[in-house]
Structure formats: structure tokens, C-alpha cells
Chain A
Amino acid sequence: MMFAVFASLSLALVLGWFGRRSIAVACMALCFGLAVAEFLWEIYSPEYGFRMPWIQTRVIDGPFAPDLAVAQLTQPRGDLS
């Protein structure tokens, strides 16, 4: 489908340059529709659908965990002392 997106886009730009305004706008509208369809097809996952579970958050009902870096700095380094 990417082929069709760029084919209609190139055609629209060339026709627009040569003054065929109505056909160029029609080609650009076709290009936009194809690009939206291609985008939706690309981001759709059979597993997740259109969702993005890797950035979903859940309610944290407990206290915040101490920052890992701060915890490492404050821990005694027994092997060096």
C-alpha cells in the first residue's frame, strides 16, 4: 500500500505543477486516505489491537519505592571498607 501512497502523492505533485488542479487535489485526497489506512494497518497488532499496554499505568496504592540510585549510594559498600 505504501507504493500506492507515494504513487498518488507523486502524481498529485506533478499534476499540480502542470496546472491540473482538480485532478491533483483528487490524487492528494486519495493519497491522504491511503496514508491513513496504511497508518492504521501498521499500528494494529493482533495481540493488542490499537492499544499500547507497555505504557499503561496502574494505580499505585502503596508507598513509593525508594529510588534505586539513591538506595545504591546510601548502602554500605562492605567489600571495599
Chain B
Amino acid sequence: MSENTMTAGMASLKQPGVRTLPAVLNHLYLLAMMTVIAGILTAAMVMQYVWGELPCPLCLLQRAAMLGVCFGIMQQFRHGLSNRNTGVSLLFTVFLLVVSVRQTLLDIYPRPDHEYVGSAIFGLHMPVWSVLIALALLIALAFELIFWGGKDHMREARLADHPPIRALATAVSLYVIALALINFGSVVLQCGVSECHTFGYALLDSLTGAPATSN
């Protein structure tokens, strides 16, 4: 390769279009991840509010873990791409895996008063789905680090340079924040400030004087 060719190659790498393409792809990848998580949380809330299946304490912790993964992704959108933010998402993904595996093992052997909570979807109950979701997130985060990790120039990439992606990221981020706030309100109604049960909305029952009903 001649010196002129190498110089031309270096010059093309310095062009904004060439340098920002990996950042755009990384942002789209993260946006897709957060959209999938938002969809899963929405499905869980539909099961709660439409089908009347109240979440157990470990199910609520799994929701919190998924929202923690979203927090890491939202920090990537707000403050630039960083391995530190990926680490936050990774930490909550591992927590999701630990909680969901423990819940799966809790009910894996049929015995009195122990059965999988909620309805089965495609033959699998929610804790088993959570194990699969956690594994998928781990693999997705590993691929993110493989493809886009350790590149210093990615830290300067800003969403503001790409208005369409920025608008989508803003919409999904606000939706996730709304989901978190609705979940917070729901936890207040279901658990109050004490232990959580799946019998009913404890705070509502105590306010109306109605006895807790089992689902």
C-alpha cells in the first residue's frame, strides 16, 4: 500500500460520516434493547391490571432489575456512550438472573402452597421467561461490548447530532420513566410500607375496610 493510499484512508476515517456510523448503530442497538424491555414490562403490567394477576415480591424485584437495566441505557443516551453505563446495566442483568433462577427453583418441585404464579405464556411461566430474558440481555450486552466497547471516540458521540434517533430515544425513555412511576404507585397500593402479598391491594383494602381477597 502506498503512502498516498494510507493518507487517503486516514483522511476518510476523520470524516464525520465515517466516524459517527458506529455511534449511530450503537445508539440504535441500545434503543432496540430498551424498547424490548419496555414491551416486556408493559406485558407484565397488562397481566396485572387486565388479567388481575398481582405480582409476587420476587416478580416485583425482577421488574426493578429490568428498570435498572433501562437506567444504564438511558444514561448512555443522556451522557454519552460509556462502559461505566454498560456496567450498570450488566449489574442489574445479573441481579435479574439471580432472582429469576431462585424463583424458578422455588417452585420447580410441586408441593402444597408452591406453584408458579400467574398464567403460562407459550407454556412457560413468568420466572422461567425472566431467566431467558436475563440470558438474552447478558448476550446482548456482551455483543455491545464486542462491537462498540473500548473505542474512545465513541464517548464524544451525542444523540443531539441525530434528531430522529434522539426523538425516538426520548419517547422510549419517557415511557420507561412512566412505567417506573406507575409501578411505584402500584407497589404503594399493593404493599404499603410493609411486606408484599399477592392477596390484593393491601392499602386499598385497609382504606375501604374490605378484607383481602385471594386471587
Contacts and interface: CB of A to CB of B under 8 A. Distances in A.
Contacts of B135: none
Contact of A9 (B67, B79, B95): B67
Contacts, number: 94
B177 A9 contact: no
A38 B60 CA distance: 11
A3 B109 CA distance: 30
B210 interface: no
Interface in A1-53: 2-3, 5-7, 9-10, 12-14, 16-17, 19, 21, 24-25, 28, 31-32, 35-36, 38-39, 42-43, 52
Interface stretch (B22-30, B100-108, B142-150, B153-161): B100-108
A78 B212 CA distance: 52
B60 A2 contact: yes
A80 interface: no
Query: Interface extent on A, as a size class?
Result: 20 to 34
What is the predominant secondary structure among interface residues of chain B facing chain A?
A: helix
Contacts of B193: 3
A9 B63 CA distance: 11
Which size bracket describes the interface of B in this complex?
Answer: 35 or more
A32 B180 contact: no
Contact of B64 (A5, A21, A24, A52): A5
A31 B184 CA distance: 13
A54 interface: yes
Contact of B58 (A10, A21, A42): A42
Contacts of B99: 39
Contacts of A24: 71, 75
Interface in B175-214: 176-177, 180-181, 183-184, 187-188, 191-193, 196
B156 to A, nearest CB: 17
28 contacts: A2-B61, A3-B193, A5-B187, A6-B60, A6-B180, A6-B184, A7-B184, A9-B64, A9-B180, A9-B184, A10-B181, A10-B183, A13-B71, A13-B176, A13-B177, A16-B74, A17-B74, A19-B78, A21-B78, A21-B79, A28-B68, A28-B71, A28-B88, A35-B61, A35-B95, A39-B58, A42-B57, A43-B102
